[in-house]
Structure 1
Protein backbone atom coordinates (compact mmCIF):
# COMPACT_ATOMS: atom_id res chain seq x y z
CA UNK A 1 0.00 0.00 0.00
CA UNK A 2 1.50 3.32 -1.10
CA UNK A 3 0.91 6.70 0.52
CA UNK A 4 -0.84 7.92 -2.63
CA UNK A 5 -0.92 6.80 -6.23
CA UNK A 6 0.51 9.79 -8.17
CA UNK A 7 -1.78 9.37 -11.19
CA UNK A 8 -4.85 9.43 -8.93
CA UNK A 9 -3.74 12.66 -7.28
CA UNK A 10 -2.94 14.21 -10.67
CA UNK A 11 -6.31 13.28 -12.18
CA UNK A 12 -8.31 14.34 -9.13
CA UNK A 13 -6.47 17.66 -9.24
CA UNK A 14 -8.05 18.32 -12.63
CA UNK A 15 -11.49 18.17 -10.98
CA UNK A 16 -10.64 20.07 -7.79
CA UNK A 17 -12.99 22.93 -8.70
CA UNK A 18 -15.97 20.70 -9.57
CA UNK A 19 -15.56 18.42 -6.56
CA UNK A 20 -14.94 21.31 -4.18
CA UNK A 21 -15.58 20.54 -0.50
CA UNK A 22 -16.18 16.86 -1.31
CA UNK A 23 -12.61 16.31 -2.54
CA UNK A 24 -11.27 14.53 0.54
CA UNK A 25 -14.22 12.16 0.83
CA UNK A 26 -14.12 11.26 -2.87
CA UNK A 27 -10.30 11.06 -3.03
CA UNK A 28 -10.26 8.67 -0.09
CA UNK A 29 -12.96 6.51 -1.68
CA UNK A 30 -10.95 6.47 -4.93
CA UNK A 31 -7.77 5.44 -3.09
CA UNK A 32 -9.56 2.71 -1.13
CA UNK A 33 -11.09 1.26 -4.30
CA UNK A 34 -7.76 1.45 -6.14
CA UNK A 35 -5.80 -0.18 -3.31
CA UNK A 36 -8.39 -2.95 -3.02
CA UNK A 37 -8.04 -3.58 -6.76
CA UNK A 38 -4.27 -3.89 -6.63
CA UNK A 39 -4.50 -6.17 -3.58
CA UNK A 40 -6.82 -8.47 -5.53
CA UNK A 41 -5.04 -8.26 -8.90
CA UNK A 42 -1.26 -8.02 -8.74
CA UNK A 43 -0.76 -7.81 -12.52
CA UNK A 44 1.42 -4.67 -12.93
CA UNK A 45 -0.10 -3.83 -16.33
CA UNK A 46 -3.52 -3.36 -14.71
CA UNK A 47 -2.44 -0.88 -12.02
CA UNK A 48 -2.70 2.12 -14.40
CA UNK A 49 -6.17 1.00 -15.54
CA UNK A 50 -7.41 0.73 -11.96
CA UNK A 51 -6.12 4.21 -11.15
CA UNK A 52 -7.93 5.78 -14.11
CA UNK A 53 -11.17 3.86 -13.56
CA UNK A 54 -11.13 4.69 -9.84
CA UNK A 55 -10.87 8.43 -10.48
CA UNK A 56 -13.53 8.55 -13.17
CA UNK A 57 -16.04 5.96 -11.94
CA UNK A 58 -18.21 8.40 -9.94
CA UNK A 59 -16.91 11.75 -11.26
CA UNK A 60 -20.19 12.53 -13.04
CA UNK A 61 -21.78 13.16 -9.63
CA UNK A 62 -19.83 16.44 -9.64
CA UNK A 63 -19.22 17.22 -13.31
CA UNK A 64 -22.89 16.76 -14.26
CA UNK A 65 -24.35 17.29 -10.78
CA UNK A 66 -26.42 14.12 -10.93
CA UNK A 67 -26.78 10.79 -9.19
CA UNK A 68 -27.37 9.29 -12.65
CA UNK A 69 -23.64 9.64 -13.06
CA UNK A 70 -22.57 6.72 -15.23
CA UNK A 71 -23.02 8.45 -18.63
CA UNK A 72 -21.16 11.64 -17.63
CA UNK A 73 -18.47 9.61 -15.84
CA UNK A 74 -17.95 7.55 -18.99
CA UNK A 75 -17.76 10.73 -21.08
CA UNK A 76 -15.09 12.21 -18.81
CA UNK A 77 -13.02 9.00 -18.88
CA UNK A 78 -13.32 8.71 -22.65
CA UNK A 79 -12.28 12.34 -23.11
CA UNK A 80 -9.24 11.82 -20.90
CA UNK A 81 -8.20 8.60 -22.65
CA UNK A 82 -8.72 10.07 -26.12
CA UNK A 83 -6.73 13.22 -25.39
CA UNK A 84 -3.88 11.61 -23.44
CA UNK A 85 -3.60 8.05 -24.74
CA UNK A 86 -5.16 8.13 -28.19
CA UNK A 87 -8.10 6.16 -26.84
CA UNK A 88 -5.93 3.24 -25.71
CA UNK A 89 -7.67 1.20 -23.04
CA UNK A 90 -10.94 3.10 -23.44
CA UNK A 91 -13.16 0.04 -23.95
CA UNK A 92 -11.76 -1.74 -20.91
CA UNK A 93 -11.95 1.27 -18.61
CA UNK A 94 -15.45 2.07 -19.88
CA UNK A 95 -16.53 -1.48 -18.99
CA UNK A 96 -14.99 -1.13 -15.53
CA UNK A 97 -16.92 2.09 -14.93
CA UNK A 98 -20.20 0.99 -16.52
CA UNK A 99 -20.42 -2.30 -14.62
CA UNK A 100 -19.01 -1.22 -11.24
CA UNK A 101 -22.46 -1.35 -9.57
CA UNK A 102 -23.48 -4.63 -11.16
CA UNK A 103 -25.20 -6.70 -8.49
CA UNK A 104 -24.28 -10.11 -9.89
CA UNK A 105 -20.83 -11.22 -11.08
CA UNK A 106 -19.74 -9.77 -14.40
CA UNK A 107 -19.22 -12.04 -17.41
CA UNK A 108 -18.05 -10.29 -20.54
CA UNK A 109 -15.04 -8.64 -22.14
CA UNK A 110 -12.13 -7.81 -19.81
CA UNK A 111 -13.43 -10.10 -17.04
CA UNK A 112 -10.45 -9.80 -14.69
CA UNK A 113 -10.27 -6.01 -14.48
CA UNK A 114 -14.03 -5.39 -14.62
CA UNK A 115 -14.82 -7.96 -11.93
CA UNK A 116 -11.90 -6.88 -9.75
CA UNK A 117 -13.04 -3.26 -9.96
CA UNK A 118 -16.67 -4.20 -9.30
CA UNK A 119 -15.72 -6.16 -6.18
CA UNK A 120 -13.42 -3.39 -4.93
CA UNK A 121 -16.13 -0.73 -5.21
CA UNK A 122 -18.75 -2.96 -3.57
CA UNK A 123 -16.29 -3.69 -0.76
CA UNK A 124 -15.85 0.02 -0.11
CA UNK A 125 -19.48 1.04 -0.56
CA UNK A 126 -20.57 -1.74 1.82
CA UNK A 127 -18.05 -0.50 4.43
CA UNK A 128 -16.34 -3.88 4.25
CA UNK A 129 -19.44 -5.98 4.87
CA UNK A 130 -18.84 -7.50 1.44
CA UNK A 131 -15.19 -8.50 1.17
CA UNK A 132 -15.22 -11.01 -1.70
CA UNK A 133 -12.26 -12.69 0.00
CA UNK A 134 -10.21 -9.55 0.66
CA UNK A 135 -8.30 -9.54 3.94
CA UNK A 136 -10.52 -7.71 6.49
CA UNK A 137 -7.47 -6.54 8.43
CA UNK A 138 -6.03 -4.96 5.28
CA UNK A 139 -9.38 -3.30 4.58
CA UNK A 140 -9.39 -1.82 8.10
CA UNK A 141 -5.87 -0.47 7.53
CA UNK A 142 -7.05 1.07 4.27
CA UNK A 143 -9.97 2.78 6.03
CA UNK A 144 -7.59 4.16 8.67
CA UNK A 145 -5.17 5.42 6.02
CA UNK A 146 -7.94 6.84 3.79
CA UNK A 147 -10.81 7.65 6.18
CA UNK A 148 -14.41 7.79 5.05
CA UNK A 149 -14.67 11.56 5.71
CA UNK A 150 -18.45 11.41 5.29
CA UNK A 151 -18.48 9.74 1.85
CA UNK A 152 -21.25 7.28 2.69
CA UNK A 153 -23.48 9.96 4.26
CA UNK A 154 -22.88 12.05 1.15
CA UNK A 155 -24.11 9.13 -1.00
CA UNK A 156 -27.14 8.54 1.22
CA UNK A 157 -28.14 12.22 0.93
CA UNK A 158 -27.72 12.21 -2.86
CA UNK A 159 -29.64 8.95 -3.31
CA UNK A 160 -32.43 10.12 -0.98
CA UNK A 161 -32.81 13.36 -2.91
CA UNK A 162 -32.90 11.41 -6.17
CA UNK A 163 -35.56 9.10 -4.74
CA UNK A 164 -37.80 12.10 -4.05
CA UNK A 165 -37.36 13.37 -7.61
CA UNK A 166 -37.40 9.97 -9.35
CA UNK A 167 -39.18 7.44 -7.11
CA UNK A 168 -39.42 4.89 -9.91
CA UNK A 169 -35.67 5.04 -10.60
CA UNK A 170 -33.91 5.88 -7.32
CA UNK A 171 -30.70 4.00 -8.18
CA UNK A 172 -30.06 4.58 -11.89
CA UNK A 173 -26.44 3.48 -11.57
CA UNK A 174 -27.25 -0.09 -10.48
CA UNK A 175 -27.08 -2.93 -13.00
CA UNK A 176 -28.36 -6.46 -12.49
Structure 2
Protein backbone atom coordinates (compact mmCIF):
# COMPACT_ATOMS: atom_id res chain seq x y z
CA UNK A 1 0.00 0.00 0.00
CA UNK A 2 1.16 3.50 -0.72
CA UNK A 3 1.06 6.23 1.88
CA UNK A 4 -1.96 8.49 1.58
CA UNK A 5 -0.68 11.95 0.77
CA UNK A 6 -3.73 13.20 -1.11
CA UNK A 7 -6.32 12.87 1.66
CA UNK A 8 -8.66 11.46 -1.00
CA UNK A 9 -11.76 9.58 0.04
CA UNK A 10 -12.40 6.11 -1.33
CA UNK A 11 -15.95 6.15 -2.66
CA UNK A 12 -16.02 2.88 -4.57
CA UNK A 13 -14.28 -0.47 -4.31
CA UNK A 14 -15.20 -3.19 -6.76
CA UNK A 15 -14.98 -5.99 -4.17
CA UNK A 16 -17.18 -4.11 -1.68
CA UNK A 17 -19.78 -3.08 -4.24
CA UNK A 18 -20.13 -6.55 -5.78
CA UNK A 19 -20.63 -8.18 -2.38
CA UNK A 20 -23.14 -5.57 -1.23
CA UNK A 21 -25.11 -5.84 -4.48
CA UNK A 22 -25.31 -9.61 -4.03
CA UNK A 23 -26.91 -9.06 -0.60
CA UNK A 24 -29.06 -6.06 -1.47
CA UNK A 25 -32.34 -7.93 -0.93
CA UNK A 26 -31.26 -9.18 2.52
CA UNK A 27 -30.24 -5.63 3.51
CA UNK A 28 -33.54 -4.24 2.23
CA UNK A 29 -34.17 -0.65 3.30
CA UNK A 30 -30.86 -0.70 5.21
CA UNK A 31 -28.78 -1.15 2.03
CA UNK A 32 -27.58 2.45 1.75
CA UNK A 33 -27.13 2.86 5.50
CA UNK A 34 -24.95 -0.26 5.65
CA UNK A 35 -23.01 0.73 2.52
CA UNK A 36 -22.24 4.13 4.02
CA UNK A 37 -21.14 2.49 7.29
CA UNK A 38 -18.79 0.22 5.35
CA UNK A 39 -17.24 3.09 3.39
CA UNK A 40 -16.93 5.40 6.39
CA UNK A 41 -15.19 2.64 8.36
CA UNK A 42 -12.96 1.72 5.45
CA UNK A 43 -11.91 5.36 5.01
CA UNK A 44 -11.29 5.81 8.73
CA UNK A 45 -9.05 2.74 8.67
CA UNK A 46 -7.14 4.01 5.64
CA UNK A 47 -6.62 7.35 7.41
CA UNK A 48 -5.31 5.58 10.51
CA UNK A 49 -2.96 3.47 8.40
CA UNK A 50 -1.92 6.32 6.12
CA UNK A 51 -2.89 4.27 3.04
CA UNK A 52 -4.56 5.61 -0.09
CA UNK A 53 -6.36 2.41 -1.06
CA UNK A 54 -7.47 -0.77 0.71
CA UNK A 55 -6.23 -4.27 0.09
CA UNK A 56 -8.68 -6.85 -1.22
CA UNK A 57 -8.57 -8.47 2.23
CA UNK A 58 -9.60 -5.20 3.87
CA UNK A 59 -12.38 -4.67 1.32
CA UNK A 60 -13.75 -8.15 2.01
CA UNK A 61 -13.63 -7.68 5.78
CA UNK A 62 -15.47 -4.33 5.63
CA UNK A 63 -18.09 -5.58 3.18
CA UNK A 64 -19.17 -8.56 5.29
CA UNK A 65 -18.21 -7.63 8.87
CA UNK A 66 -21.79 -6.85 9.99
CA UNK A 67 -23.66 -8.36 7.04
CA UNK A 68 -24.35 -11.54 8.97
CA UNK A 69 -26.77 -9.53 11.12
CA UNK A 70 -29.16 -9.31 8.17
CA UNK A 71 -28.40 -12.74 6.74
CA UNK A 72 -28.85 -14.55 10.07
CA UNK A 73 -31.54 -12.19 11.37
CA UNK A 74 -29.88 -11.91 14.78
CA UNK A 75 -27.36 -9.84 16.74
CA UNK A 76 -25.40 -13.08 17.26
CA UNK A 77 -24.04 -12.73 13.75
CA UNK A 78 -20.25 -13.17 13.84
CA UNK A 79 -20.45 -16.77 12.65
CA UNK A 80 -22.74 -15.81 9.79
CA UNK A 81 -20.44 -12.94 8.76
CA UNK A 82 -17.43 -15.28 8.88
CA UNK A 83 -19.30 -17.71 6.64
CA UNK A 84 -19.96 -14.92 4.16
CA UNK A 85 -16.26 -14.02 4.17
CA UNK A 86 -15.34 -17.65 3.46
CA UNK A 87 -17.92 -17.79 0.67
CA UNK A 88 -16.81 -14.56 -1.04
CA UNK A 89 -13.02 -14.87 -0.55
CA UNK A 90 -12.29 -17.22 -3.50
CA UNK A 91 -13.98 -14.84 -5.96
CA UNK A 92 -11.90 -11.89 -4.78
CA UNK A 93 -8.50 -13.26 -5.74
CA UNK A 94 -5.62 -12.62 -3.35
CA UNK A 95 -7.32 -12.53 0.03
CA UNK A 96 -5.72 -13.32 3.38
CA UNK A 97 -8.82 -15.00 4.81
CA UNK A 98 -7.43 -15.54 8.33
CA UNK A 99 -6.59 -11.81 8.50
CA UNK A 100 -10.05 -10.83 7.22
CA UNK A 101 -11.72 -13.08 9.81
CA UNK A 102 -9.55 -11.64 12.58
CA UNK A 103 -10.37 -8.06 11.53
CA UNK A 104 -14.08 -8.88 11.56
CA UNK A 105 -14.06 -10.45 15.04
CA UNK A 106 -11.78 -7.88 16.69
CA UNK A 107 -14.18 -4.88 16.84
CA UNK A 108 -16.02 -6.80 19.54
CA UNK A 109 -12.97 -6.69 21.82
CA UNK A 110 -12.46 -3.98 24.38
CA UNK A 111 -8.68 -4.00 24.43
CA UNK A 112 -6.33 -3.16 21.59
CA UNK A 113 -4.49 -5.84 19.65
CA UNK A 114 -0.85 -5.80 18.48
CA UNK A 115 -1.48 -6.28 14.74
CA UNK A 116 -1.66 -2.80 13.19
CA UNK A 117 -4.09 -3.66 10.37
CA UNK A 118 -6.43 -5.50 12.74
CA UNK A 119 -6.23 -2.77 15.39
CA UNK A 120 -6.99 0.00 12.90
CA UNK A 121 -10.03 -1.96 11.70
CA UNK A 122 -11.21 -2.23 15.32
CA UNK A 123 -10.66 1.46 15.97
CA UNK A 124 -12.25 2.54 12.68
CA UNK A 125 -15.42 0.56 13.46
CA UNK A 126 -15.51 2.18 16.92
CA UNK A 127 -14.99 5.64 15.43
CA UNK A 128 -18.01 5.12 13.19
CA UNK A 129 -20.25 3.57 15.83
CA UNK A 130 -19.36 6.34 18.30
CA UNK A 131 -19.74 9.11 15.68
CA UNK A 132 -16.13 10.25 15.73
CA UNK A 133 -14.73 9.07 19.01
CA UNK A 134 -12.34 7.77 20.28
CA UNK A 135 -9.40 9.93 19.41
CA UNK A 136 -6.41 8.16 18.01
CA UNK A 137 -2.84 8.47 19.19
CA UNK A 138 -2.03 10.21 15.90
CA UNK A 139 -4.87 12.71 16.24
CA UNK A 140 -8.38 12.85 14.94
CA UNK A 141 -9.57 10.86 11.99
CA UNK A 142 -11.19 13.32 9.53
CA UNK A 143 -14.69 12.15 10.49
CA UNK A 144 -16.60 15.07 8.98
CA UNK A 145 -15.04 14.61 5.56
CA UNK A 146 -16.00 10.95 5.34
CA UNK A 147 -19.38 11.37 7.03
CA UNK A 148 -20.38 14.02 4.49
CA UNK A 149 -19.47 11.72 1.61
CA UNK A 150 -21.11 8.66 3.18
CA UNK A 151 -23.96 10.06 5.34
CA UNK A 152 -25.74 8.14 8.07
CA UNK A 153 -29.09 6.71 7.06
CA UNK A 154 -29.43 8.56 3.77
CA UNK A 155 -29.57 7.27 0.24
| Aligned partners of 2:19 and 2:88 also within 8 Å | no
| Structure 1 match to 2:21 | 13
**TM superposition score normalised by structure 1:** 0.75
Match for residue 68 of structure 1 among 76, 82, 92: 76
Match for residue 148 of structure 1 among 145, 152, 155: 152
Query: Unpaired runs of 5+ in structure 1?
Result: 151-176
Rate the CA distance shift 1:13–1:122 in 2: closer, same or farther, 3 A. Answer: same
1:41-56 matches, within 5 Å, as 41-43=49-51, 47-56=55-64
| Aligned partners of 2:40 and 2:150 also within 8 Å | yes
**TM superposition score normalised by structure 2:** 0.84
RMSD: 2.2
**Cα deviation code 1:26-59 (max 9, x no counterpart):** 0000000011111112457853222111111001
- How many pairs align? 146
Match of 1:20, SS?
Answer: helix
Query: Unpaired runs of 5+ in structure 2?
Result: 1-8
Q: Which structure is higher in RCO with an 8 Å CA cutoff and minimum separation 6? A: 2
